């Protein structure tokens, strides 16, 4: 049911054929990137349509929801659980400050889960209103590209509709992956971990990235026994080595059992839970096994190969302006597997709209993007790590490190140091990178960057 219409129009005095489309822009996927691109494009006067799957906290090929991963099953619910878990450590710390904390601490997982779900339902509604108020036409269903200017939308009841658009933007994000080990169906991903009916007593986590250390902290803060397995000697490959060491020490200090250089080879269901067998042949029992082993771009059902959109593995290949090899088809966010962070998807969305509808060709700038890992206590970094600076800097570098005992810990007795590091170009005194691991590190880093930007620019 395409409403594509061909009219004869005159442009620049020539008798060119001009095409009239249903939309100037059709966006597939209403996560952080898609919503930002839609709203900014509409702000430039474009007629925008956006499609998204029906809402569900656990994503699949057929459910998703306006707001996407960050809002529904990523940053937002994760941070709510991190806040919830942080009270565990705070209660411990409170004792030496004179607070009588009874032996039995009653933590109600179901209550937190309910409140978390209510919040993401609220945000889902808020995002829908944002789109509506921006004049973006929202459509529920699965989008599939059928030609360089056409999207087929399959609605919940199976009805198929076709829409034409001058530009199509793919913003379908990514989904958590399971490693190919025997019994992998017994494990869960972060989607399910954010919506578990019961809080496990014993959790095993595989992976050494963001999600693994964040969930290890969440569960441990709630009193769960946590065993964390990762392939390298330290978690958080790619971050500053000194910071990685501090994070590992802090995780252990909070009672998480680390298993470096170890992966899992098999999961077996038993009456007592899941028997976990490591690649060293060791065994342990768990109620829940979380795979935090990375995410893959959502491109499978978009029909991209048929339309001729070039892929790089499962990611959509794009140029510096987020355009694919087909000039009318663009892609932003995790589906392009460039830098998989929400603020980056937002930046890519804004640049796309400026380029295509704002008359201001804009390339996303991937330099000095701050990021935060919400383990407890958190880690936040911007710019180069010490190792990257050694490899990339032209001249000498200076490294300033400060490690100290936060005053709060002197009374509480918590053995946990805060560490800050600045990597500086020795000749110009220019800061090349900054890292901090300690309480409120993300906020401190964010404020520092804002202050620097204000006074330096
Ligand atoms: P990451 O890419 O951060 O880490 C994946 C981890 O899984 C690595 O430690 C990797 O090990 C390990 N791994 C991969 N395959 C296997 C395997 N077959 N067996 C054992 N280990 C394996 O992925 P996450 O899942 O933690 O996060 C996904 C994405 O979500 C990230 O790109 C991140 O940007 C984003 N995210 C951001 C957050 C934030 O900003 N705070 C929070 C959560 C997620 P190795 O290092 O050995 O390769």
Cβ of 379 below 6 Å from ligand 1: no
pTM for the model stands at 0.93
Q: Which residues of 12-38 are buried (b: 16+ CB within 10 A; e: fewer)?
A: eeeeeeeeebbbbbbbbbbbbbbbbbb
The confidence band for 451, taking pLDDT boundaries of 50, 70 and 90, is confident
Q: Identify the residue whose C-alpha is closest to ligand 1 atom 2.
A: 294
Cβ of 64 below 6 Å from ligand 1: no
Cβ of 211 below 6 Å from ligand 1: yes
The confidence band for 102, taking pLDDT boundaries of 50, 70 and 90, is confident
Cβ of 206 below 6 Å from ligand 1: yes
Q: Identify the residue whose C-alpha is closest to ligand 1 atom 23.
A: 294
From the CA of 212, how far away is ligand 1's center (Å)?
7
Domain at 184-293, CATH class: alpha beta
Task: Copy the structure tokens of residue 170.
Answer: 């793919």
CA separation for the pair 334, 296 (Å, rounded): 8
Cβ of 179 below 6 Å from ligand 1: yes
Cβ of 208 below 6 Å from ligand 1: yes
Cβ of 82 below 6 Å from ligand 1: no
Instruction: Give the per-residue pLDDT at 131.
Output: 97
Contact 291, 184 (CB under 8 A): yes
For 132-174, how does the pLDDT look when each residue is reduced to its tens digit (9 = 90+)?
999 999 999 999 999 999 999 999 999 999 999 999 999 999 9
Q: What residue spans in the chain does CATH classification 3.50.50.60 cover?
A: 5-72+111-176+296-357, 184-293
> Does pLDDT of 6 surpass 60?
no
The confidence band for 126, taking pLDDT boundaries of 50, 70 and 90, is very high
For 283-306, how does the pLDDT look when each residue is reduced to its tens digit (9 = 90+)?
999 999 999 999 999 999 999 999
From the CA of 151, how far away is ligand 1's center (Å)?
32
Backbone angles phi, psi at 455, to 5 degrees: -90, -25
Q: Give the angle subtended at the CA of 365 by the CAs of 359 and 370, to the nearest 5°.
A: 135
> Does pLDDT of 455 surpass 90?
no
Contact 194, 276 (CB under 8 A): no
Instruction: Give the per-residue pLDDT at 17.
Output: 52
Domain at 377-456, CATH class: alpha beta
Q: Strands, DSSP E only, in 256-396?
A: 257-259, 264-270, 273-278, 283-286, 288-291, 295-297, 311-312, 315-316, 329-331, 371-373, 379-383
Tokens 């599939």 map to which residue? 144
Instruction: Give the per-residue pLDDT at 249.
Output: 97
From the CA of 325, how far away is ligand 1's center (Å)?
29
Q: Identify the residue whose C-alpha is closest to ligand 1 atom 3.
A: 209
For 18-75, how does the pLDDT look when each residue is reduced to its tens digit (9 = 90+)?
689 999 999 999 999 999 999 999 999 999 999 999 999 888 889 999 999 999 999 9
Cβ of 239 below 6 Å from ligand 1: no
For 210-254, how does the pLDDT look when each residue is reduced to its tens digit (9 = 90+)?
999 999 999 999 999 999 999 999 999 999 999 999 999 999 999
Task: Copy the structure tokens of residue 200.
Answer: 């496990």
Backbone angles phi, psi at 281, to 5 degrees: 85, 5
Interstrand relation of 273-278 and 283-286 (parallel, antiparallel or unpaired): antiparallel
Pocket test for ligand 1, best of 72, 173, 209, 212 (most atoms within 8 A of CB): 209
Pick the CATH number of 5-72+111-176+296-357 from 3.30.750.200, 3.40.720.10, 3.50.50.60, 2.60.40.1240: 3.50.50.60
* Ligand 1 atom showing the smallest separation from residue 334 Cα: 32
Task: Copy the structure tokens of residue 316.
Answer: 């959509």
Rounded to the nearest angstrom, the gap between the alpha carbon of residue 223 and the centroid of all alpha carbons in its chain is 25
Neighbours of 5 (CB within 10 A): 10
The full DSSP string for 347-373 is HHHHHHHHHHHSS-------TT--EEE
Cβ of 231 below 6 Å from ligand 1: yes
CA separation for the pair 335, 348 (Å, rounded): 12
Contact 300, 174 (CB under 8 A): no
């Amino acid at each position: 049911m395409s409403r594509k219409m061909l009219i004869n129009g005159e442009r620049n005095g020539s008798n060119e054929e001009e095409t009239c489309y249903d939309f100037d822009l059709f966006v597939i996927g209403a996560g952080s990137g898609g919503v930002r691109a839609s709203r900014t494009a509409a702000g430039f006067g474009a007629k925008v349509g956006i499609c998204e799957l029906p809402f569900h906290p656990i994503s699949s090929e057929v459910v998703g929801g306006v707001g996407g991963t960050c809002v529904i099953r990523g940053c937002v619910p994760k941070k709510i659980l991190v806040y919830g878990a942080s009270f565990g450590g705070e209660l411990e710390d409170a004792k030496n400050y004179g607070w009588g904390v009874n032996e039995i601490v009653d933590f109600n997982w179901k209550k937190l889960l309910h409140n978390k779900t209510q919040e993401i339902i609220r945000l889902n509604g808020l995002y829908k209103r944002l789109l509506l108020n921006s004049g973006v036409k929202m459509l529920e269903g699965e989008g599939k590209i059928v030609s360089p200017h056409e999207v087929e939308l399959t609605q919940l009841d199976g009805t198929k509709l076709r829409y034409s658009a001058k530009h199509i933007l793919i913003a379908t994000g990514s989904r958590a992956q399971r490693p190919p080990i025997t019994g992998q169906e017994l494990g869960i991903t972060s989607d399910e971990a954010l919506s578990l009916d019961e809080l496990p007593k014993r959790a095993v986590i595989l992976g050494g990235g963001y999600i693994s250390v964040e969930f290890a902290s969440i569960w441990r803060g709630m009193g769960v026994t946590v065993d964390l397995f990762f392939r390298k000697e330290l978690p958080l490959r790619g971050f500053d080595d000194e910071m990685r060491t501090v994070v590992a020490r802090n995780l252990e200090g909070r009672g998480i059992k680390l298993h470096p250089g170890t992966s899992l080879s098999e999961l077996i269901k038993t009456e007592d839970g899941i028997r976990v067998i490591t690649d060293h042949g060791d065994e342990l029992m768990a109620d829940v096994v979380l795979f935090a082993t990375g995410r893959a771009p959502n491109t499978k059902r978009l029909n991209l190969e048929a339309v001729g959109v070039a892929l790089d593995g499962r990611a959509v290949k794009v140029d510096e302006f987020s355009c694919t090899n087909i000039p009318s088809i663009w892609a932003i966010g995790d589906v392009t597997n460039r830098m998989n962070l929400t603020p980056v998807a937002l930046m890519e969305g804004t640049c796309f709209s400026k380029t295509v509808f704002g008359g201001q060709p804009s390339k996303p700038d991937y330099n000095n993007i701050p990021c935060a890992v919400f383990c407890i206590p958190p880690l936040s970094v911007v710019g180069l790590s010490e190792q990257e600076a050694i490899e990339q800097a032209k001249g000498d570098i200076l490294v300033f490190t400060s490690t100290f005992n936060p005053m709060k810990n002197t009374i509480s007795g918590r053995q946990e140091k805060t560490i800050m590091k600045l990597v500086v170009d020795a000749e110009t005194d220019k800061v090349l990178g900054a890292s901090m691991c300690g309480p409120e590190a993300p906020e401190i880093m964010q404020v520092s960057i804002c202050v620097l930007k204000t006074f330096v620019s």
